[in-house]
Each structure stands twice: as C-alpha cells, then as structure tokens.
Chains A and B, each alone.
Chain A
Amino acid sequence: MVTTTTAPEEARPSTPRKAGRKPKSRLPRSKLPYLLLLPAVALELLVHVIPMVVGVWMSVLELTQFQIRNWSEAPFAGLDNYRATLDFNGPVGEELLHSFWVTVLYTTLSVGLCWLFGLFAAVFLQRPFPGRSLLRTLFLTPYALPVYAAIITWTFIYQRDTGLLNELLTVTGLVDERPFWLIGPNSFWALLVVSVWKQWPFAFLCIMAGLQNVPTEMYEAAAIDGAGFWRRLKDVTLPMLRPVNQVLVLVLFLWTFNDFNTPFVLFGGSAPEQADIISIHIYRSSFITWNFGQGSAMSVALLLFLLLVTAVYLLITNRRREHA
C-alpha cells in the first residue's frame, strides 16, 4: 500500500495520465491544503496515533487489576512486561509463542488460498459466457455480508448435532462418530475455511480490477505464439498483475494476521487452543487476567513484527519490480 503512494508512476504503461505531468498546481501555494487535511489528521491522531503512543507507554507500566482504577499512578515497570511475555520458556511467553505459530500457519494458508481462488475465478470469468455477471455477483456476496452474520451462519454449520457439515459427513458415510468442529484440533480447520470463505472475494475483486488493464491484444499475441493456458497465465497475466498482487498480498496478510472477528464470533468470545490466533490471545490475556501492561507489551511486539515483515516485503518486491 505504501509504495503505491510513493512510486505511482512506474510500470503502468496501460493507464496514461491524462494530464501527463505531476500535479504542479497553479492554485496559490497556501495554507489551504493543511486546512483541508486538518479534520482527517485530528481524527487519526485521536483514534489511532495517540492511543498507540499511550499503548506503548502502558506496556512499560505495571498495570494490573489493582492499578486500573487509577492507571496514571501505575508503577513504572521498565521492560518487565516484555521480559515476561517474550520469555518463551515461561508460561506466558510459551503460550504467546504457540499462538504466534498458529497465526503464522493460519495466515499463510488463508492468504494463499484466497489469492488462488481469487485468481482462478477472475481468470475464468474474463471470457464472456451466459451467467457470467450472475456468478460475479454471487462470488462477491460473502464479502458484502456483515462479518458477524456470515460467521454465525458458519457456527450453525459446524454444530455437532444440528449442523450441516456433520450431516453431510454422516450421510456420505465418511465418519461414523460426529466430530466436534468448534473445539479440539478440528477448530483450526474450521476457522481457516471461514476465513477463506469471507476473504477470497476481496482477492477476486482486486484481481478482476487488475485484469481490466491487460490489453486483449497481449493474449492474442501470446495465442498466436502458441502459448497454452498456463503459458498465458505465467507470461501475460501474472506479470501484468504484479502491481495488484504486491498490494493485495500485503493487505490480505495484515488483515488475516490481525484477524479478531472470525475466532471471536465463531467460537463465541474465546478460542480453543488449536485456533488461538494472536489478536484473540492478546484480548483474552488482557481481559481475563486483567494484566493490561502485559497485554500492551504483546500488542507492541506484534506491531513491531508486522512493521518488520512489511518493510522487508516492500523492499524485496520493489527491488524485484525494478529489476523486472
């Protein structure tokens, strides 16, 4: 996302800028732009930036249930909270590390599947055929549904005794004993399926938008050269989609890694150990143990990790784009 604002000019031969030059405005240079930005800046400061700074500050306080009533007088704890949460041999750190790995697996699988589903749906809907716009509308519906309404429906599907999934499994004879889906080892897969179900339409939407910029002549030229489906995908579609993919994969990664809604609604406010992804882990360790200092330390560690991953990702993908 960040690069799109810093380097918008490169690699976009197909969308010529109408003005042909950067907006060197003839409007008088004045205070006006700052005035226009003021409301946005003020609100971002109030809701995002200041709370984040406060959050970082809280992470170095000893802020447990005893101090929360008068949190401004909580004793300074230095890096104690970080030491406790990031000591992976201690109980708190061990659980956090477990949760981290669950989240890494969850995010990797979810982003990969969403991207694949989105890509193939978009590619196969490029060519006109009867019912195409109906399918496109249908595929976008899960994305439009309010998250909680969609996930509650999945909770119903996963019910052991009354749900659709176990009914399918027993009718087809795949299982004898109805398994539990919302507790135990199955819960991870249950969570993953829901995540893919509601997120892949976003990948589909972005890739579909990206494909509109691919001139059909390029496919025709490739077809004349005798390129089959996979060659066209590899040599035409994917290179043309690179700018879209760069942003899309990053956004999907951040959303999925920070995902709170899916486990929170699916499992009803908590999460089984096997599906204990990081946001809900932090939420629960903050509100159940009322140790907000430690919760904040975990959040800050999470933010630093995401910043690091994003920076490395942008560095690598930008370099590859430049060399391409």
Chain B
Amino acid sequence: MRETAGERWARRVVLTLLTLFTITPLYVMLSSSLKPLRDVQGPFTWVPSRPSFQAFVDMWSTVPLGRYLVNSLLVSSVAALISVAIAIFAAFAVSRYRFRGRQVFSVTVLSTQMFPGILFLLPLFLIYVNLGNATGIELYASRTGLIITYLTFSLPFSIWMLVGYFDSIPRGLDEAAQVDGAGPMRTLFQVILPTAIPGVVAVTVYAFMTAWGEVLFASVMTDENSRTLAVGLQGYATQYNVYWNQVMAASLVVSLPVVAGFLMLQRYFVAGLTAGAVK
C-alpha cells in the first residue's frame, strides 16, 4: 500500500506540529534549569546566557528538597510493591476462578475509579484521624497513611490490566501443572507469574507513577515531616522571589526516574493495554 504525496505531507505537518507542542515545555524545563538567576528574572530567553549547574546545587537548600525526595521515594515504592502484590492475587482469582460475586467485584473496583477524589478526601481525613486516636497507629500526616491511600489508587487499573494478562495465558499450562500435582499457589507462582512478568513490571511502574504524581491527598494528608514532592515543589513558588531556574532544575530531577522507567517499559505498557484494556 503506497502513501500518496498528500498523505506524506499531511503526516509531516501533523507530526511536526505535535512534536513542537510536546517538546516546547520540555525544552523550557531543561534550558531554564541551566540558567543563572538573572536570566529567569527578565524576559524569557531561549538559551542560557552562561550555562551553569548552580541551580542544581542551590535547589537543595531553598526548600528541604532532600527530605521531600526521600518521602516520595519511600511512599511510592512501598505503595507500588504492596499494590502489585495485592493485585496479583486478586487478578489470579478473577481470571482463574468462577465464584459468586466475581462480576460485582470487577465492576465495583473499576467504578471506584470514577469517584471524584474530592468526595472521599474529607471523610478519609476524618477516618484517619479517628483511627489514629483509637488505635495509636498514626495515619493522618504520616507516610503510612499516604502509602495505604496511594496503593488503592493504582489497585483497580492494576487488577484490570493483570486480569487481561492472565487471561491471555493458556489455561492448558495451569492444567499441565495441576496434573503434575501443583496447588493453586504453585500454579500462580511457577506457571502464571513467570509468563506475565512484563505485565507485572508495567503495573509496578504504573503504581509507582500514580503515587509519585498525586497532588490532592498529598496536600491535605501531609505535614512538614511527611511532605512529598508533589506539595514540596510548590514551596519554591511561595517564596517572595521565585527561583524559576531552581524550580525547573528540581522538576527535572524529580521527573527523571519516572520518565526513564516509563520510557524503558513503554512497549510493555502497549502490550499490557492490548492484553487488558483493549479487550
């Protein structure tokens, strides 16, 4: 099938425009992070007058970025790991068993995705405070509370995507394992999981990204000690003098791990979506 000249030009124009649209903010972030302060205090310039890494040094002391970074890393990784572990078991049940309530479970879990976050923000806040008072476990303004909250945010989509993955694994494999005397757990861990590794990895990264980027609950549920990057980064903007070069440098640094992880695994996301979402 040949491409006509008109199509070729349409393709070039559309892709060029989308590239410019996509790349401009990324360029602004990168170039401004290399600018000295006076460059970002006057009219915008495309290139730094004198490229320097000073902003990358100063940004750690303007706000306690290190602490925010540690909090975000801790909260996001723990939430991602627990979320994926829970999703694996749930997806295994939904994919391999027929049981009463299977449909109800699938539909309910997915529909939690459409709840406006604002609806359960305040009740959750009150529940955490009261649970904390009753049991002594700090949930409000603590990293534990954030971890529990965030892992449920990624659960529905993780379960859904893994069910798709597991469904695409031939049941003949399970049956062969059962003939060899494997129980359900051995079937899951020795037959299904090894085959579904790409899906599991993609879901882990998704869960990490969800927690890493969450803003609403982070801004209500944290105090100075448990504050994550999502809220902490806005600290630069509340200063009298906005250090835009430092804001851009910090944005770049906090973006790198997730962007790198996502882009390295992008084909698994496509595969996961094809298996799960597109069904």
Interface residues of B in 258-274 (CB under 8 A from A): 258-259, 261-263, 266, 269-270, 273-274
B43 within 8 Å of A (CB atoms) = yes
Q: How far is the CB of B222 from chain A (nearest CB, A)?
A: 14
Q: In the complex, A212→B271 CA distance in Å?
A: 10
Say yes or no: A146-B230 contact (C-beta < 8 A), given A1-B113, A23-B97, A55-B123. Answer: yes
Interface digits, A7-48 against B, CB 8 Å rule (1 contact, 0 not)? 010001001011100111111010011101101110110111
| Docked-complex contact A157 and B215, CB < 8 angstroms | no
When distances are taken between beta carbons in the complex, the residues of chain B under 8 Å from A269 are 234
When distances are taken between beta carbons in the complex, the residues of chain A under 8 Å from B123 are 50-52, 54-55, 58, 296
| Docked-complex contact B152 and A213, CB < 8 angstroms | no
| Docked-complex contact A5 and B110, CB < 8 angstroms | yes
| Docked-complex contact B22 and A146, CB < 8 angstroms | no
When distances are taken between beta carbons in the complex, the residues of chain A under 8 Å from B114 are 254, 258, 306-307, 310
Say yes or no: A155-B237 contact (C-beta < 8 A), given A138-B19, A279-B118. Answer: yes
Interchain CB contact (< 8 A) of B279 among A2, A12, A36, A167: A12
Interface digits, B1-32 against A, CB 8 Å rule (1 contact, 0 not)? 11110110011001100110111111011001
Please name the residue on chain A nearest to B85 by beta carbon.
Answer: A39
- Interface stretch, picked from A75-83, A86-94, A120-128, A315-323, is A120-128
Please name the residue on chain A nearest to B257 by beta carbon.
Answer: A146
Q: In the complex, A6→B160 CA distance in Å?
A: 12
| Docked-complex contact B25 and A243, CB < 8 angstroms | no
| Docked-complex contact A18 and B168, CB < 8 angstroms | yes
Please name the residue on chain B nearest to A155 by beta carbon.
Answer: B237
When distances are taken between beta carbons in the complex, the residues of chain A under 8 Å from B94 are 33, 37
| Docked-complex contact A2 and B25, CB < 8 angstroms | no
Q: In the complex, A154→B10 CA distance in Å?
A: 28
| Docked-complex contact B120 and A153, CB < 8 angstroms | no
A104 within 8 Å of B (CB atoms) = no
Say yes or no: A205-B259 contact (C-beta < 8 A), given A124-B11, A279-B116, A310-B114. Answer: no
- Interface stretch, picked from B49-57, B58-66, B99-107, is B99-107
| Docked-complex contact A197 and B21, CB < 8 angstroms | yes
| Docked-complex contact A260 and B127, CB < 8 angstroms | no
Q: How far is the CB of A175 from chain B (nearest CB, A)?
A: 14
Give the 3 A-B residue pairs with the shortest CB-CB distance, closest first: A51-B120, A144-B262, A54-B123
| Besides A124-B15, A143-B262, A148-B215, 19 other A-B contacts (C-beta < 8 A) | A5-B160, A22-B98, A26-B178, A34-B93, A44-B152, A55-B122, A120-B14, A135-B19, A137-B263, A139-B22, A152-B233, A153-B28, A209-B270, A258-B116, A264-B216, A279-B116, A279-B216, A296-B122, A302-B119
A-B contact pairs, 15 of them (CB 8 A): A27-B187, A36-B92, A37-B94, A40-B86, A40-B90, A54-B123, A140-B262, A146-B255, A147-B213, A155-B237, A162-B40, A229-B6, A229-B7, A244-B277, A303-B119
User: Which residues on A are within 8 Å of B, measured CB to CB?
Assistant: 1-2, 4-6, 8, 12, 15, 17-19, 22-27, 29, 32-34, 36-37, 39-41, 43-44, 46-52, 54-55, 58, 71, 117, 120-121, 124-125, 127, 135-150, 152-157, 159, 161-164, 166-167, 197, 205-206, 208-210, 212-213, 216, 219-220, 223, 228-229, 243-244, 247, 251, 254, 258, 260-261, 264-265, 268-269, 278-279, 282-283, 286, 292, 295-296, 299-300, 302-303, 306-307, 310
